[in-house]
Amino acid sequence: MNRLQSVRGMHDVLPDEAQLRRRIEQVWMEVAHGFGYEEIRFPLVESTELFRRSIGEATDIVAKEMYTFEDRNEDSLSLRPEGTAGCVRAAIQHGLIPNRQQRLWYLGSFFRHERPQKGRLRQFDQFGVETFGMCGPDIDAEILLLGWQGWQRLGLSPRLVLNTLGNPDERLIWRKQLVEYFSQFESQLEEDDRRRLKTNPLRLLDSKSKSIQDLLEEAPQLENLLGEESRTHFDGLRETLDAHGIDYAIDPRLVRGLDYYDFTVFEWVEESLGAQSALGGGGRYDRLVEQLGGRATPAAGFALGLERIRECLEATATTAVDVYLVALGEEATARMCALGMQLREQMPDLRIRTNMEAGSMKAQLRRADKSGARAVLIMGEEELSQKSVVLKFLRGPEEQQTVLLDNIKSALAEHFAPTG
Ligand code: HAM
């Protein structure tokens, strides 16, 4: 019988990874808390209609990537592909929006039927924030500062890329100009781009195809069509970011893959990740609340992909173990076990794992290596009789040394600073 496997693109989080995942989640929750944001949770499944009306029929997410099914009542439901739609739906339904400013955060799993590859999963986790009732550029700046603080705490520094999409009227003119411009070259376009030209011409801007990239050099620019309000908003945001010393790059080709944005859009990008390099993104969506049946309310937010963040941090990840205890023979095993207890008491920051199930020296060292420990303490017959242990480092240039049991604490203290 075939062994059952997890669904393609949907992964288990095993103990090795869970610790780092928890740290990432903790950092974002703490940062959001520190900015006075409140948690909201909403269902994994919503009516398909909600995503169609918010993300947009012509987007890849809605057209190709949703897990949509009929339930037993023949209602069309979908697994949530992102959080903004559900958050807005919940906020309208429970009256969280009118006459109030709201700052919310969420954390959870999302589902998109994309072609799985590095950094692109079919089930992935996002941390997101959504704000309602604030229309100035200050709130755009606040969510970017919130992001900046999270990256700082995690020790990451993704590139912040900004753009403005103007208001719907400005975009409509731009859209027309783009269609006119690209239509002249329709025969040179690949099939996917020809489809985009018909359904969602703005998406041509982030097409990877060479012909589009070349044509974009001469394509009409939205910047030339922006009115006073759009310009002032964008300049206001840039001034605040400059005042806080936040670096950013402006990319007039950044359009994002969801239809609900107006004015500011942004992404945090970590190029070292390769093709799927966006750690997160967001922007303003001032029309969405009204479009989903609420009272017109300005809004802005972002979401981050936690698996991609984990990928960036993996190199610097800490493991569960600092020191692994290896012993050969019954007497040495008992002595080592006692030494472990003594060290845990004397050095509570040190994570010490005792070898179980005996085994040859080679087998025990293999286990030590797998545990991720930086060092092993080894006790064989000779060390037992000399009341010493061998201190051996598994992952650094440090020399192996034989240390008397009486001195082991200070020998370890030289190499393992307390984490506080
Ligand atoms: P998004 O750009 O579609 O925006 O997703 C945000 C982040 O989620 C991406 O930058 C990426 O890190 C991660 N992500 C998306 N799809 C996948 C995938 N298939 N596998 C792994 N990670 C993925 C939104 O979802 C908007 N709701 C953001 C927002 C909130 N805008 C305003 N408020």
pLDDT in tens, 254-273: 999 999 999 999 999 998 88
Q: How far is CA 216 from CA 53, 206, 212, 221, 254, in A?
A: 29, 10, 6, 9, 13
Is 48 in contact with 71 (CB distance < 8 Å)? no
Is the entire prediction scored with pTM above 0.85? no
| 98 token code pair | 């009118």
- Which tokens sit at 247? 């670096």
Q: Which atom of ligand 1 is nearest to the CA of 122?
A: 19
189 pLDDT above the threshold of 80: yes
H-assigned helices in 35-167: 48-55, 60, 84-93, 137-154
Contacts of 217 (CB under 8 A, 6+ apart): none
How far, in Å, is the centroid of ligand 1 from the Cα of 161? 15
Mean per-residue pLDDT of the chain: 94
Residue from 54, 82, 163, 273 to probe ligand 1 pocket by mutation (most atoms less than 8 Å from CB): 82
Of all protein residues, the one whose alpha carbon is nearest to atom 13 of ligand 1 is 305
- Tens of pLDDT, residue by residue over 17-39, are 898 999 999 999 999 999 999 99
pLDDT tens track for 317-372: 566 789 999 999 999 999 999 999 999 999 998 999 999 998 999 999 999 988 88
Q: Which domains does the chain have, with CATH numbers?
A: 15-166+226-314 (3.30.930.10), 323-413 (3.40.50.800)
Pocket residues for ligand 1 (CB within 6 Å)? Answer: 82-84, 112, 114, 119-121, 124, 126, 128, 130, 257-258, 278-283, 285, 301-305, 307-308
Residue 23 CA to ligand 1 centre (angstroms): 20
Q: Is the pLDDT of residue 419 over 50?
A: no
The CA 284 to ligand 1 mean position distance, Å, reads 15
185 in Cβ contact with 211 (< 8 Å): yes
Q: Is the pLDDT of residue 201 over 70?
A: yes
